[in-house]
């Protein structure tokens, strides 16, 4: 993998990751871009004990551009995009409309308290990046070769390594949203990376559960025992490789939801060994292709979210977390489609009370995902 860093016209960084060591990335961004005006603030919700991002500038972000104006396609004469090169393997660049941006300084790193001490806020330090998986506008991640998918895994790992060292960053989150039903505003195959200035509520909740379980009679690791229980039960296993296990969880929230864990447990992408990295492309591509077949021929490609869960890189503020080595890296892949032509909406119970109601029994989902295995 060859890595080349450059700058866009407004100063944002763009990084090319190439399969060939002789790839040259020298094109310059000729667009007359104004400076970025992005102010990110996070406010604390004392009832839920979590931070909320306030980012008014994101209302102006690009929304469903026509294919010939896609900002993620390579640039060509007369049509400059976010990626100045005429072709590329994988490109990563700072989001022009970031949810979090910049490092903290003395004036912004500390929590500010308003006249009412319940109202506290901080600068939304961190970084948001766009990861374009391929220069092919009409492709999808599932269309990538194993070599290309391995390159993306290496990109996620490299970005995790670099962003985890940025001032103020506590957690790095690599993810992909696909499909208009999910809310995707650009159809070009891409994902994003968020470097958060706090530990996310979902991760904090997992860590508390792991800590409580470890203090119980068995004193074991909750992630290890859950994965072992799914393997022993077997009914919800979708794929079981030498170095990865994929299953529909017993209490799945979404109609079709698969969790993918490496063997053995590691806290983040940085800790994956080479055998796991080598096997990942085939396992992951097969899962994505099954998702595209699960609703039958003639259906549009399945909308999904693919989310890497990694351990925080520092202890969360005000939380009594287990050590990060107790966390288990895993990927959660799920769709909001519950049947052909039908979506699962987060209605009153899910949105109002965070109580999920799943219309598809996990065992049925797992069986269907096994049925649509590649020949």
pLDDT tens column, 321-355: 556 889 999 999 999 999 999 999 999 999 999 99
Domain residue ranges in the chain: 2-200, 202-371
Percent of the chain with pLDDT over 70: 92
Q: What is the mean pLDDT of the chain?
A: 91
264: preceding bond cis by omega (within 30 degrees): yes
Write the CA distances from 166 to 92, 103, 118, 160, integer angstroms: 17, 7, 29, 10
366 against 69, higher pLDDT: 366
Place of tokens 């869960």: 309
39 is annotated as an active-site residue:
no
Q: Is the pLDDT of residue 274 over 70?
A: yes
271 against 122, higher pLDDT: 271
CA distance 192 to 132: 8
Is 2-200 assigned to CATH 3.65.10.10?
Answer: no
Q: Quickly state the pLDDT bin for 57 (edges 50, 70, 90).
A: low
- Asked if the domains 2-200 and 202-371 are classified in one and the same CATH topology, the answer is yes
Q: Which of 190, 243, 309, 330 is catalytic?
A: 190
CA distance 37 to 57: 8
- Residue range 202-371 forms a domain whose CATH class is alpha beta
Q: What is the pLDDT of residues 204-229, one digit of tens each?
A: 999 999 999 998 887 799 999 999 99
Q: What is the pLDDT of residues 137-178, one digit of tens each?
A: 999 999 999 999 999 999 999 999 999 999 889 999 999 999
State pTM to two decimals.
0.93
């Amino acid at each position: 993998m060859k890595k080349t860093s450059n700058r866009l016209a407004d100063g944002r960084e763009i990084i090319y990751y190439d399969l060939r060591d002789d790839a040259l990335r020298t094109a310059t961004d000729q667009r007359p871009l104004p400076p970025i005006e992005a102010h990110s603030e996070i406010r604390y919700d004392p009832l839920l004990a979590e931070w909320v991002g306030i980012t008014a500038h994101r209302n102006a972000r690009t929304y469903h551009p026509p294919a010939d104006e896609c900002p993620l396609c390579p640039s060509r004469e007369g049509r400059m995009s976010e990626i100045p090169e005429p072709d590329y393997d994988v490109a990563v660049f700072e989001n022009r409309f970031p949810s979090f941006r910049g490092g903290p300084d003395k004036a912004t790193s500390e929590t500010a308290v308003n006249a009412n001490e319940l109202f506290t806020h901080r600068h939304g330090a961190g970084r948001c990046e766009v990861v374009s998986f391929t220069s092919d506008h009409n492709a999808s991640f599932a269309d990538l070769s194993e070599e290309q998918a391995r390159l993306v895994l290496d990109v996620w790992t490299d970005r995790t390594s670099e962003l985890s060292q940025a001032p103020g960053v506590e957690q790095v989150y690599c993810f992909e949203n696909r499909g208009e039903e999910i809310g995707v505003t650009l159809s070009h195959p891409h994902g994003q990376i968020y470097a958060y200035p706090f530990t996310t509520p979902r991760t904090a909740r997992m860590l508390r559960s792991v800590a409580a379980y470890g203090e119980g009679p068995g004193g074991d690791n909750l992630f290890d025992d859950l994965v072992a229980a799914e393997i022993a039960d077997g009914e919800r296993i979708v794929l079981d490789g030498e170095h990865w296990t994929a299953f529909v969880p017993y209490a799945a929230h979404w109609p079709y939801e698969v969790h993918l864990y490496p063997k053995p447990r590691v806290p983040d992408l940085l800790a994956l060994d080479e055998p796991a990295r080598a096997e990942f492309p085939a396992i992951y591509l097969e899962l994505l292709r099954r998702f595209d077949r699960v609703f039958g021929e003639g259906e549009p490609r399945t909308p999904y979210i693919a989310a890497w869960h990694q351990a925080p890189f520092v202890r969360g503020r005000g939380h009594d977390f287990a050590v990060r080595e107790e966390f288990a890296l895993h990927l959660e892949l799920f769709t909001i489609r519950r049947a052909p032509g039908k979506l699962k909406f987060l209605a009153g119970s899910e949105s109002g009370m965070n109580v999920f109601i799943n219309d598809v029994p996990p065992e049925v989902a797992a069986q269907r995902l096994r049925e649509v295995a590649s020949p």
